[in-house]
Structure 1
Amino acid sequence: MSSQALKILVIGGSAAGPKAAAKARRMDEHASITLIQKEADLSMASCGFPYYVGGVFDDRNMLICTPAGIVRDPNFFDKAKRIEALVETEALSIDREAKTVTCLHLPSGETQVLPYDRLVIATGASPLYPQVPGSDLDGIRTLHSLGDADALRAVRDQGKVTKAVVVGGGLIGFEVCEALHLAGIQTTVIEKTGQILPFLDPDLAKLVENHVRSKEADIITNNGVAAFLGEDGKLNGVKLDNGTELPCELAVIAVGVRPNVGLAKAAGLEIGDKGGIAVDDFMRTSDPDIYAAGDCVECRSLINNETVRAPYGDIANLQGRVIGQNLIEPESASFPGITHTGICKIFDFTVGFTGLSEAAAREAGFDIETATVSGLDIPGYMNGQLLVSKMVADRKSGRVIGFQCIGPGDASKRVATVAMAIRGKLTVEDLNNADLPYAPPYSLALDHVIVSAHVLDNKLSGRMQGISVSEVKQRVDSGADCFILDTRSPQEFEEMRLGIGETLIPLGALRGRLDELPADKDKEIILYCKISLRGYEAAAALQAYGWTQVKVMEGGIMAWPYPREK
């Protein structure tokens, strides 16, 4: 087929679609490229919606602009890229035999039939919505489209709403929570499951929860919405599963998305087990002339090879680029899969993750070891900020398969580092001596990632026995027979203590006070300090003096998410 005769049709104008169209144009100046978009706007930076709602910036056009400040409207696509962009146009059906798409121009009600040689489906996803009484009341919103962002920004600017609830304790839910908080709206996040941020393990999720509460936002877990309450068609509250009623004038639904596969399914394309369109490594559907990308497709985990969904804007752009190249040069580019990497800002915390959490790794059948580490991102004399992280590795191979990092410090580059380590199938040993950039404004001499690997290496080799903060809490609550040793200084102990029956013996005094330790050398001893470095050093000493059940509380006091004494 001559490239000059190639007709490319792209359905979906948010992320993957425009990227595929733009890449195809760069590959072939002469192809005919048409972009169909149901909404009025094109190529929206949807991850920026919460920050527009929160007033971080005021010009909505910044969400649909190029880096040079040019609005990506149909005129821009026509003049700059020679792509015909049909906005407010809905694709109704695909005729694979005739290779046409029937479209409806929404303002006029007119239909047209567009031919294609190669078709791209980038129909995205739709927000899930609780099917409970009152769900049609005015005042219930989502934050999925630019229109949603406009509506919530209007709520902020009008200043009439005083109380809101966010239904869903995931990434979007907390970004919305912060945006509403910035608008001076008292906000409660409602999460049906037992913890917020399900991609984190519980100990770290609890630390984030504590931080959110410190900002005077409320969180309710283990409770869903049973009904929305209202009067005269307007929302004035929500009723929870346990019968509690919360007054509010605004509810934002953020419980996830469902891939938009209706068009593809009606055309007879294969739908995968996870509900998204099935594609191969070249992003082709079951029809070799039809490609699909973005929130509507399934992809593959690079860790366990399982099929997953990844409704993220960066993934959509990567997949769109692969498609754009393959439209012109078939099978010349591939998208092998993902490591499930994400990051978000939640008030003063950064919350980042990549790969599998401990819970997900165990569920997937991995035999794993983990290490939880607390520490600064840069030296204290450079105003370093706290990070708490958890690294997960396969016990047999030592391969790193997961990492979570939270706190006010710079978690982003640590997560990015481990994401590439996971993609490269690096082991803990590989990270032990990683040559990462070091200078005090940017890192410690031993970066947080390297320290995490060192702790994990000590555990894998048997040099250290670790115990999580939640396990320590369980020991205390159950009255287990263990000796808890705080190795900090007396001044630190007076300023803050855990109040769990601990004994204070500073590390520097430990060797002279061994007679204060349990005479039974097989009794469990749990040690910690602020971040548990001194705890580890003390543990090594006690093992040398014959104690056999010496365990270090990983992450120390900084990783303790439960109430403390002050």
Structure 2
Amino acid sequence: MSAQKIVVIGGSAAGPKAAARARRLDAEAEVTLLQKAPELSMASCGYPYYIGGDFDERDSLLATPTGVVRDPAFFAAAKGVNAKVNTEVTAIDRENRTVSGIDLGSGETSTVEYDKLILCTGANPRRPPIPGIDLDGVCSLSEMRDADRLRGLVDAGRVKNAVIVGGGLIGIEVCEALTKSGMNVSVVEMLSQLLTFLDWEMAKLVEKHVASKGVTVHTDNGVAEFLGEGGKLTGVRLKDGTTVPCELAVVSIGVVPNADLARDAGLAIGSFGGVTVDEYMRTSDPNIYAAGDCVEINHRITGKKVFAPYGDLANLEARVAADNMVLGDARTFPGTVNSGICKVFDLSAGATGLSERRARDEGFEVVTATNASLDRPGFMGARLLVSKMVADARTGRILGFQCVGPGEVNRQLAEAAMAVMNGNTVLDVNTADLPYAPPFSLAIDHFITTAHILDNKMCGRMTGIGNAEVKARLDNGEKPFILDVRAPGEFEAMRLNVGETLIPLGALRNAQDKLPVDKDAEIIAFCKISMRGYEAQRILEARGWTNVKVMEGGIMAWPFHVDMGR
């Protein structure tokens, strides 16, 4: 029997993984990898950190852990894969099982036969039809050459003002990179918040931190026009009429699946414009598979198709596709819970599963808890974490988790992602056996503590209220009794200044004369993180007050202005 011919189109993340995996599983297979760009296996998620000077060796983005660049010679020698770069595939002939391509250097055309084909064509950056978008100085960040150009501008030091269009993952990471280089940076986001995978109040913590680094943030706004002179960018005019001077604008408003080849070949395309695949990563043609940013996959909670362009998923999908191309239908890919994380200066922000907003949109009856607490003991250099857990009120199943802070966010999200994927409930997490030692976590891990708070709410022991709701009600002229139960020193150092009354927790039992006479009056208690706020609620309820709420997360989760040093 002749060797199986496997062709892989696309050489960024999914393509090289599929090619190498297929060759490992079938040592006799003829594996050909076709890549339009001049580079292979680029660590594209590392582009912002290269631009920002976290490392200087460009080839680090293309190299193995031992420093060997993954070029065609490497793939031939180490992987047994025939990799061709600067080769654009122009058509797929499904009937004859061939792909046609062109060498972008020589113009020479060629045809390659396949028994099995996998599409790993990735995604393209969104490029809206905004006047002036073709001006010199307007760019995106999707290819190695984009990273090279931006790093060159950073190194030259000639750009003084930059605008980031879009406040998503890449936009925020590029914002940090350019700010670190000394540029004056503005971020323009047409929605009401940055990082839309977070709920609004969590995203506002991120926005507050970004602004503290000298970045100007424009939310609820968009770009109306890129302004220029002599073909060069000079500024950006926003929807509200504001003009922001700049010599550089990085458009980062998301990506769309690069599915043109699949569409032209008559393969099924989904509602997001991505290639339709089944659980085996197989397309509507049984001899063609697809993986990475060009496909749509299942969401593990909703069961709906989603577009999830993440580098880790691309590699996982490609591994499953390669297994099935070589071994038959041996593996399945169950889908995603949309786990994501990013670095925001000295803060981290991430989420897994459904946000509260998305869960409600999907028809879930939702209950949430916000927890502000430390990632490890104070004597081990504790750092703050603010988290939000989202659960199904009827079953207790954890639907999502968000975390923001300078602490060990990644650990919390990893724990949460496994809980969400496994369908764990709040009660399951309440007694989870997680590793503990003071250098790494608290004795009761932050993630478990968040579940404890939510359990208290679900059992009726704690009545919580979100900080955004408190602020909205105060802005509307409502006058609940705001009770701050911190110590006087804490109060003087940092306060909300919303008419709160200070009664330290230790004095609360003997301070009934300072509280509302009406036992049905609404009292909202808080402290630094609201553990003492919860204790205050229990004390007051035991003494007859019937309408006591805890402002979840306390002052550390308050995303609005705080008065300091009073």
TM-score range, shorter chain: over 0.9
CA distance in 1, matches of 2:366, 2:458: 9
Cα deviations by residue, 1:403-451 (Å, 9 ceiling, x for unpaired) = 0000100000100001000111100000001111111110011110010
Output aligned runs, 1:372-521, within 5 Å: 372-521=370-519
Report the equivalent of 1:150: 148
Report the equivalent of 1:355: 353
Q: Name which of 297, 300, 306 aligns with 1:299.
A: 297
Report the equivalent of 2:263: 265
Q: Name which of 111, 120, 123 aligns with 2:121.
A: 123
Q: Does 1:370 align with 2:349?
A: no
Cα deviations by residue, 1:95-140 (Å, 9 ceiling, x for unpaired) = 1001010101111111111110000000000000121111111111
Aligned residue for 1:295, secondary structure, equals coil
Cα deviations by residue, 1:298-353 (Å, 9 ceiling, x for unpaired) = 00111111110110000000001111111110110111101100111010101111
TM-score, with length taken from structure 2: 0.99
CA distance in 2, matches of 1:27, 1:132: 48
State the 1:363 CA deviation.
0.7
Report the equivalent of 1:180: 178
Q: Name which of 302, 306, 309 aligns with 1:308.
A: 306
Aligned residue for 1:557, secondary structure, equals helix
Cα deviations by residue, 1:259-286 (Å, 9 ceiling, x for unpaired) = 0111000100000122110000000000
CA distance in 2, matches of 1:344, 1:149: 18
Aligned residue for 1:255, secondary structure, equals coil
Aligned residue for 2:47, secondary structure, equals helix
Report the equivalent of 2:339: 341
CA distance in 2, matches of 1:462, 1:540: 11
Q: Name which of 61, 73, 76 aligns with 1:75.
A: 73
State the 1:554 CA deviation.
0.1
Report the equivalent of 1:63: 61
AA in 2 matched with 1:383: G
CA distance in 1, matches of 2:425, 2:18: 35
Output aligned runs, 1:8-157, within 5 Å: 8-157=6-155
CA distance in 2, matches of 1:562, 1:388: 14
State the 1:531 CA deviation.
0.3
AA in 2 matched with 1:512: N
After TM superposition, where is structure 1 displaced by more than 2 Å over at least 4 residues in a row?
Answer: none
- What residue ranges of structure 1 are gaps of 5+ in the alignment? none
Report the equivalent of 2:540: 542
Aligned residue for 2:385, secondary structure, equals strand
CA distance in 2, matches of 1:383, 1:310: 36
Report the equivalent of 1:324: 322
State the 1:481 CA deviation.
3.4
Cα deviations by residue, 1:169-228 (Å, 9 ceiling, x for unpaired) = 001001000010111111100001111111111111111111111111111011111111
Aligned residue for 1:176, secondary structure, equals helix
CA distance in 1, matches of 2:412, 2:240: 40
CA distance in 2, matches of 1:262, 1:501: 59
Aligned residue for 1:463, secondary structure, equals coil
CA distance in 2, matches of 1:38, 1:458: 55
CA distance in 2, matches of 1:215, 1:187: 10
Cα deviations by residue, 1:334-389 (Å, 9 ceiling, x for unpaired) = 11101100111010101111001110110111101000000110111111001000
Q: Name which of 251, 258, 266 aligns with 2:249.
A: 251
CA distance in 1, matches of 2:157, 2:174: 16
AA in 2 matched with 1:110: E
CA distance in 1, matches of 2:41, 2:560: 44
Percent of residue pairs identical: 59
CA distance in 1, matches of 2:35, 2:440: 43
CA distance in 1, matches of 2:69, 2:352: 33
CA distance in 2, matches of 1:309, 1:477: 38
Corresponding pairs, count: 564
- What residue ranges of structure 2 are gaps of 5+ in the alignment? none
TM-score, with length taken from structure 1: 0.99
Aligned residue for 2:370, secondary structure, equals strand
AA in 2 matched with 1:75: A
Report the equivalent of 1:533: 531
CA distance in 2, matches of 1:66, 1:513: 65
CA distance in 2, matches of 1:498, 1:132: 41
Cα deviations by residue, 1:211-269 (Å, 9 ceiling, x for unpaired) = 11111111101111111111111111111111111110000010000101110001000
